[in-house]
Amino acid sequence: MGNSITTAGYTFVVEESKEISGEDLGLLQEKLLQLNWGVQHPASGPMRLKVWVDGDEVVKVDPDIGYVLRLLEKLVEYRTWQNAIVNVERACFIDNFGTMTGYSIAAEKIAGVEVPKKADYVRTILCEGGRIVSHLIGLGSFVGVMGVHTPMQWALIAREKFLDAFEVYSGQRIATASIVPGGVRYEPTGKFIEKMVSAVDFLEKEFIPRYGEVFIDNPTLKVRSEGIGVVPKEKAVELGLAGPALRASGIPSDIRKDYPYAAYGELDFKVVTKEEGDCYARYLVIWEELIESAKIIRQAIEGFPEGEWRTKFPLKVPPGEAYVNVEWARGCFGFHLISDGGTGPYRLKMRAPSFANLWAMPELMKNIKLADVPVIFASLYMCHGDIDR
Amino acid sequence: MLEEIREKLKSQFGLESESYDTNMLLVKCDRNQLRDLMRFLKENGFNYPHTVSVVDYTPKGEGFQANYVLENLNSKKFVMVRVSIPEEDLTVPTVSDIFPPLQPHEREAWEMFGVEFIGNPRLEVMLLPEWAEGWFPLRKSYDFKKHRKPSKEKK
């Protein structure tokens, strides 16, 4: 575990009731111990995992979520089309650009608004920036749960350069509210492009070689993560895994490629897949996507078109609906947006990839050792903001 | 691919379908047909479920609507299955045994809208706190302001 049990925030509770989540486990019940993994634990945000253990073996895992529920889907109904983005982007603070892009595309589809080409390119650059930022944290926390905290610090240094670029662009580092229906909110200045290029430079020339040398193909890391939490191809579909976890099982599902939005159709990149389907494969998918994303940003900056970055978006949108998927950092994020002809959304349903991964997790955590729980948890690459919404 | 499915739906179920988007088909069906239709779609390659999206149309007098979004991972096409649920009888048969990943999505729809998915093994509160069970906050009739904490009066 890296940390001792007490410092990792475990508490021991002796289960009093005879049944576990409605399932009678019979005689086994007598010797089971329920551990509470959370509510606050070092791997991620506020969430509680109820872990039933028999000695060192995990018998059953049941997630208890809802600690960061903000009911964003309801809040959006009280907003106008433009300022609903402040709720949409808060689905997850780490990569907020993907969610804003998805919502904006859905709103534009209903309203029949065509976005200028330059806005598409800015969106692409920002989305990939968000993906890099998110993947950096994902990489860092994956090694972090095993007790090594250096990679997280390295990742945060690289992340800082991207946050600087976002700050130059929108004035905010995290909740940028920069992509709106009808384009993007601010002019992409030369200073922003300059900052973005220097951030990508740092990532490609400093972070990737240094990190790759130490923490990729690392024998200790491989011992802990290879062959753990294996999901074969068919099972990944059956469990409904999403995003990097699905691609690590050998399924090339990437909305950017399958159904291009923004400027992805014009750029050249590859979909990273792995065949093994274990924790290490999921880690490598995140790693290689990071390298791909840096290339996408470079291409988008090279082919940056001239022109307007925003068109007029009507105050009232005609009745209609749209279902839009975007490839968010953590997987395919779906938006079911409905308009009734008013000044704001009538209903917005957000399909979160982390939610899908979370409920596939109990199936992965059967008959494993207790020490593998955090490894599998971190490899599924979930964010609590978008589990609860 | 979608044309094929459209013809099969017409011949086997007698259902009309329309294109929803360039890569998505919209099928409207009845509640009793839902399970057969979902099984049929699963056999025809639409084996990756995305979500269940419930929409409350009660202010317009149209009851509720449940939308099931399924994807075919090989041909990258989507199907949206739409079921209307009258306000007086908020029940719909579960599809969680056909598509296990949809079980938590149905559970969420139940706690937010009060639509009962008959046969779902686990309809318990998940995101809401336990004391808020039965509030159904995503319904249009839910009064947001009533549950707001009283703010301090401005001086």
Q: pLDDT truncated to tens, each residue of chain A (389 aa)? A: 333 444 444 444 444 444 555 566 655 555 677 788 877 765 667 888 888 888 788 888 888 888 888 888 888 988 899 889 999 988 888 888 989 999 999 999 998 888 888 888 999 999 999 999 999 998 988 888 888 888 889 999 999 999 999 999 988 888 888 899 988 888 888 899 999 999 999 999 989 999 988 888 888 888 888 888 888 888 888 888 888 988 998 888 888 888 888 888 888 888 888 888 888 999 999 999 999 999 999 988 888 888 888 888 888 889 988 999 999 888 889 999 999 888 889 999 999 898 999 998 888 888 888 888 888 888 888 888 888 88
Residue B139 φ/ψ, nearest 5 degrees = -65, 150
Instruction: Please answer yes or no on whether B24 and A323 come within 8 Å at the CB atom.
Output: yes
Whether the pLDDT of residue B153 is over 70: the answer is no
Interface test with A, best of B25, B127, B140 (most A CBs within 10 A): B127
Instruction: Please answer yes or no on whether A323 and B144 come within 8 Å at the CB atom.
Output: no
pLDDT, tens only, B66-91: 999 998 888 888 889 999 999 888 88
Instruction: Please answer yes or no on whether B100 and A240 come within 8 Å at the CB atom.
Output: yes
pLDDT on residue A14:
47
pLDDT on residue B60:
85
pLDDT on residue A157:
92
Nearest to B50 among A237, A334, A359 (CB): A334
Instruction: Report the largest interatomic distance among the alpha carbons of chain A, rounded to a whole angstrom.
Output: 72
B137–A contact, CB cutoff 8 A? yes
Instruction: Please answer yes or no on whether A334 and B69 come within 8 Å at the CB atom.
Output: yes
CB A111 within 8 A of CB A181: yes
Strands A331-339 and A320-328, by their bridges, are antiparallel
Q: Taking a contact as any Cβ pair under 8 Å apart, which residues of chain B between 52 and 91 contact chain A?
A: 53-56, 60, 67, 69, 73, 76, 78, 80
- Say how many C-beta atoms besides its own lie within 10 A of residue A224's C-beta: 19
pLDDT on residue A51:
86
Counting Cβ atoms within 10 Å, is residue B134 exposed (0-12), middle (13-18) or buried (19+)? exposed
pLDDT on residue A17:
47
User: Looking at the DSSP assignment, which residues form a beta bridge with residue A20?
Assistant: A23
pLDDT on residue A366:
83
Distance from CA of A346 to the nearest CA of B (A): 9
pLDDT on residue B131:
82
* For chain B, percent of residues with pLDDT exceeding 70: 95
pLDDT on residue A259:
86
pLDDT on residue A132:
92
Q: Output the CA–CA distances (angstroms, integers) from residue A45 to A12, A205, A366, A380, A386, in the order listed.
A: 20, 31, 23, 14, 11
Nearest to B101 among A69, A349, A356 (CB): A356
Arithmetic mean of pLDDT, B104-131: 87
Cβ pairs A/B, distance under 8 A: 81
CB A340 within 8 A of CB A321: no
pTM for the model: 0.87
pLDDT on residue A5:
43
B127–A contact, CB cutoff 8 A? yes
Q: Give the residue numbers in A contacting B (CB under 8 Å), as ranges.
A: 21-22, 65-66, 69, 71, 73-74, 78, 109, 237-240, 251, 253, 258-259, 322-323, 325, 332, 334, 336, 338, 340, 347, 349, 351, 355-356, 358-360, 388-389
Distance from CA of B101 to the nearest CA of A (A): 5
Nearest to B51 among A322, A338, A351 (CB): A351
Q: Mean pLDDT of all residues in chain B?
A: 85
Cα A18 → chain centroid: 37
Instruction: Please answer yes or no on whether B144 and A74 come within 8 Å at the CB atom.
Output: yes
Instruction: Please answer yes or no on whether A239 and B101 come within 8 Å at the CB atom.
Output: yes
Residue A229 is encoded by which pair of tokens? 């939490």
Angle at the Cα of A7 from the Cα atoms of A5 and A11, rounded to 5 degrees: 60
Arithmetic mean of pLDDT, B134-140: 86
Angle at the Cα of A339 from the Cα atoms of B88 and A310, rounded to 5 degrees: 165
pLDDT, tens only, B1-49: 777 878 887 878 777 778 788 888 888 888 888 888 888 888 888 889 9
Task: Find chain A residues with C-beta within 8 A of B53's C-beta.
Answer: 336, 349, 351
Phi-psi region of A198 (alpha: psi -120 to 50; beta: other; left: phi over 0): alpha
Question: What three-state secondary structure class fits A22?
Answer: coil
Q: Taking a contact as any Cβ pair under 8 Å apart, which residues of chain B between 13 and 32 contact chain A?
A: 20-21, 23-24
Residue A151 is encoded by which pair of tokens? 């990679």
pLDDT on residue A32:
76
Task: Find chain A residues with C-beta within 8 A of B103's C-beta.
Answer: 359
User: Looking at the DSSP assignment, which residues form a beta bridge with residue A81?
Assistant: none
pLDDT on residue B22:
81
Instruction: Please answer yes or no on whether A69 and B127 come within 8 Å at the CB atom.
Output: yes
Strands B24-29 and B77-85, by their bridges, are parallel
Which CATH number applies to A72-388? 1.10.645.10
Instruction: Please give the domain boundaries of chain B with CATH numbers for all domains.
Output: 2-143 (3.30.460.80)
pLDDT on residue A41:
66
